[in-house]
Amino acid sequence: MSDWFNVAKLDEFAPGSVRSVNIDGTQVAVFNVGGEYFAIEDLCTHDGGVLTGGTFDGDVVVCPRHGARFCVKTGKALSPPAYEDVAVFPVRLEAGVVQVRDARWD
């Protein structure tokens, strides 16, 4: 089973913000959507660009390179040029800290 990685303390992670963390070589974007936390791979499935450099509004992140849109709650690709969804990761709150892990290989 994979380890949990600390993202940020709750009081340092405001609603509407995003953090990117490296989990064993995989960049993961963690989003605070109105006090709920969601994590997706920080990688556009269209061309491999980093998603955290784009805009984030509500539960949608827009890739800064070509405008592909993804749901941060589900990882679903919402618009071209991306047609493949991004990987999603479990998030938990532990002792006032937001944590994420890569459970794809468990």
Has residue 94 been placed in a domain? Answer: yes
β-strand partners of 39? 30, 89
104 pLDDT higher than 90: no
Has residue 25 been placed in a domain? Answer: yes
Has residue 48 been placed in a domain? Answer: yes
Check if the beta carbon of residue 89 is closer than 8 Å to that of residue 40. yes
The whole-angstrom separation of Cα 55 and Cα 52 is 8
The CATH number assigned to the domain holding 74 equals 2.102.10.10
Residue 2: its pLDDT value, please? Answer: 72
Has residue 9 been placed in a domain? Answer: yes
Has residue 105 been placed in a domain? Answer: no
Q: Indicate the pTM of the whole model.
A: 0.93
Task: Write the pLDDT tens digit of every residue in 18-75.
Answer: 999 999 899 999 999 999 999 999 999 998 889 998 999 999 999 999 999 999 999 9
Q: Considering its fold, how many domains does the chain have in total? A: 1
Instruction: Encode 1-35: b = buried (16+ Cβ within 10 Å), e = exposed.
Output: eeebbebbeeeebeeeebbebebeeeebbbbbbee
Residue range(s) defining the domain that contains residue 29: 5-100
